[in-house]
């Protein structure tokens, strides 16, 4: 089987070495996108593989071995057939090429499409394997082109349940192994894997901190002392740099955001405390830019559109409580941007029956008191169904097959769910346990990034063996199911 490996194994050598296990099993790796910045991989072990540096691909540079090859520009028929993906791509290009004008983004997209469409037609791989849901521009162009050419794709996705991952063929379809749970099975809590059971019990216990592990790690990294340490280190480099004046001017411009109008000031001007006694829908905003909205949010990368639909469908007397993601400002700063433009929070606060909450409001308390949670793809939707609350989901999360998840795409669908809720919609705990038992069986353990490595108990060798075994199994399934179609 001829394979493309995309964004695979450039952070852990044990993950990269899975490629050798694929070769040993008789597969051919025709093309591999990775970087040697973190770990070195001996490329002489794969003399027939075209290696493409991840950071070159990120900025639209071709693989070194293909730099002299010319590719035809995309024609009208191809561009029109991918119109649904173009909106997603233009958002991603803002992340990867921040600040470029619309026409330049379109040109960059067409240029990437010419390259990756040409590469796929030249190599004709049997499967294109992505380490995660493709969420950088070049990855997504490759993914869309592969879909257009009917070349099977395989995606892995790290869930919030410890070191568990799930496999997908198409992120819009979700994990294929979770799509068809066994019928007529009534699982017991003991049938749920110990690590998944422990996670579930921590989520439904109000005395325990249910904050996802990745968020705890992120808060540690963004603690005041660590940020101060990084700032002092950065300042030391600035002083030593011969371009001192330029660096000082750049830092002064960055610091001026604290005295100019900014996101935090606008937010504090319109925020209000929640009244937990009122019936309300809790809407936690997704962090942006990130995979969870682009591409997994679809058109609801525009989270204001989601809020407008909810406001239009809301039952009389209900409220929408909106909470900003706790790391939005910490990671992106307080300056206005494409994803949080000037007037963003004012627009939210002006929507009928909509309240923007202080960013420090506890998410667990809001889920507990809410009638429902509405989200693009956020973890809060998953946490809600575990606690017996319905979740209105606008995007394509990994938990889209969980009981209590209602996929909505317009105001009419929202109204339908709200009507069911008013007619005493109840979620069955047994359905949740059945789902978790099924999840335990079909998800797999391991790590493909530092995020997973931080929470796993696998040794590097155990991880390599587990990933190789699963990848070989998934590849066989993907080819078999593609032939069946």
Domain residue ranges in the chain: 2-177+445-484, 194-208+262-437, 209-260
pLDDT given for residue 203 in this prediction: 95
Contact (CB, 8 A) for 308 and 347? no
How far is it, in rounded angstroms, from Cα 9 to Cα 163? 17
Structure tokens at 234: 């950065």
Measure the CA angle with vertex 275, ends 274 and 280; round to 5°. Answer: 85
Contacts of 36 (CB under 8 A, 6+ apart): 10, 53
From the list 36, 164, 176, the residue with the least C-alpha distance to 466 is 164
* Predicted local distance difference test score (pLDDT) of residue 425: 81
The residue ranges of the chain whose pLDDT is under 70 are 210-259, 483-485
Distances (CA, A) of 128 to 33, 146, 152, 483: 11, 8, 6, 16
State phi, psi for 103 to the nearest 5 degrees. -65, -35
| Beta pairing class for 405-407 and 2-6 | unpaired
Q: Is 335 within 8 Å of 259 (Cβ atoms)?
A: no
- Angle made by CA atoms 367, 328, 8, in degrees to the nearest 5: 100
Distance CA 129, CA 4 (A): 6
Nearest to 379 by CA among 101, 161, 179: 161
Q: What is the pLDDT of residue 285?
A: 98
DSSP class of 376: S
Contact 372, 279 (CB under 8 A): no
pLDDT at 30: 98
Q: Which fold has domain 194-208+262-437?
A: Rossmann fold (3.40.50)
Sheet holding 127-130, edge to edge: 50-53, 28-34, 2-6, 127-130, 153-158, 164-168, 444-445
- Residue 249: per-residue pLDDT: 46
């Amino acid at each position: 089987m001829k394979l493309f490996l995309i964004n695979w194994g450039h952070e852990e050598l044990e993950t990269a070495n899975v490629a050798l296990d694929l070769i040993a099993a008789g597969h051919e790796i025709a093309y591999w996108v990775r970087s040697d910045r973190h770990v070195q991989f001996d490329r002489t072990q794969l003399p027939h593989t075209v290696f493409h540096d991840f950071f070159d691909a990120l900025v639209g540079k071709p693989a070194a071995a293909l730099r002299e090859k010319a590719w035809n520009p995309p024609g009208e028929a191809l561009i029109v057939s991918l119109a649904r993906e173009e909106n997603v791509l233009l958002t991603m290009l803002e992340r990867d090429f921040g600040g470029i004008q619309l026409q330049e983004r379109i040109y960059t997209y067409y240029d990437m499409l010419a390259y990756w469409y040409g590469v796929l037609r030249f190599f004709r791989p049997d499967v294109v394997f992505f380490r995660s849901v493709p969420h950088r521009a070049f990855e997504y162009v490759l993914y869309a082109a592969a879909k257009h050419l009917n070349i099977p794709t395989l995606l892995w996705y790290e869930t919030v349940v410890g070191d568990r991952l799930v496999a997908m063929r198409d992120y819009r379809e979700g994990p294929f192994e979770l799509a068809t749970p066994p019928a007529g099975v009534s699982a017991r809590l003991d049938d749920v894997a110990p690590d998944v059971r422990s996670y579930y019990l921590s989520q439904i216990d109000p005395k325990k901190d249910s904050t996802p592990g990745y968020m705890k790690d992120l808060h540690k990294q963004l603690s005041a002392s660590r940020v101060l340490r990084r700032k002092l280190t950065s300042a030391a480099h600035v002083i030593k740099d011969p371009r001192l004046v330029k660096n000082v001017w750049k830092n002064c411009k960055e610091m001026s955001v604290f005295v100019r109008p900014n996101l935090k000031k606008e937010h504090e001007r319109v925020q209000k405390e929640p009244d937990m006694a009122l019936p309300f829908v809790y809407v936690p905003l997704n962090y942006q830019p990130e995979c969870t909205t682009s591409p997994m949010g679809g058109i609801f990368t525009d989270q204001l559109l989601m809020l407008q639909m909810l406001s239009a469908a809301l039952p009389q007397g209900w409220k929408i409580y909106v909470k900003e993601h706790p790391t939005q400002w910490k990671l992106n700063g307080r300056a206005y941007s494409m994803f949080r433009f000037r007037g963003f929070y004012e627009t939210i606060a002006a929507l009928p029956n909509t309240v923007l909450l202080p960013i420090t409001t506890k998410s667990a308390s809001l889920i507990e008191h809410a009638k429902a949670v509405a989200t693009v793809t956020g973890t809060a939707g998953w946490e809600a169904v575990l606690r017996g609350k319905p979740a209105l989901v606008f995007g394509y999360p990994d938990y889209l097959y969980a009981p209590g998840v209602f996929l909505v795409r317009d105001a009419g669908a929202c109204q339908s769910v709200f009507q069911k809720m008013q007619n005493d919609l109840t979620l069955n705990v047994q359905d949740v346990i059945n789902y978790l038992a099924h999840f335990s069986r079909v998800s797999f353990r391991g790590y493909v990034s530092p995020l997973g490595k931080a929470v796993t108990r696998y040794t590097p060798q155990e991880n390599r063996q587990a990933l190789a075994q699963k990848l070989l199994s998934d590849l066989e399934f993907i080819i078999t199911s593609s032939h069946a179609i």
